[in-house]
Structure 1
Amino acid sequence: MGWSYNLLYFFQKRGFEVCRRIAEAWGIRARVVRSTFIYLTFATLGFGFALYLFIAFWLGIKDLIYTKRTSVFDL
């Protein structure tokens, strides 16, 4: 196993969560969302990738703000 497997594992573990969360919110398959981002990236020369990064950043911020705490002592 080389560096390419580690890179693939990294993106599967962390990167594809954006597509999974979008798919769960819209009620469609994550594979459809992933392929849409890929086609959008090729068709618009990188806009799809920039949009993906923006959504990933936005979801990260949202998770930091809207974390569910069970008690006051979880702060």
Structure 2
Amino acid sequence: MRKLFYNVLHFSQKRGFYVCQRIADKLGMRARVVRTSFIYLTFVTLGFGFALYLFLAFWMRIKDLIYTKRTSVFDL
């Protein structure tokens, strides 16, 4: 049971926090500040922060799929 919990925790930290990291890189802030802001926004607005986080994660994923960086013409 404990191993399962740590596996889920590791997966969420590895995959989930990347959204905050990318937003922080764009804004020139620390990722910790962005994560804390999402947590406070979620508690204050009763879930709106979490919904916003999921929307941004979805939007960034779609953007990555559409705008892939190709190094040469042969990568098509």
Residue aligning to 2:19: 18
Number of equivalences? 75
How do 1:1-75 residues align onto structure 2 when only pairs under 5 Å count?
A: 1-75=2-76
Among the aligned pairs, what percent are the same residue?
Answer: 75
TM-score by length of 1: 0.94
Matched letter for residue 62 of structure 1 = K
SS at match of 2:54: helix
Deviation at 1:72, TM superposition (A): 2.8
Moved over 2 A (4+): none
C-alpha RMSD of matched pairs (Å): 1.0
Q: Distance in 2 between matches of 1:54 and 1:73?
A: 33
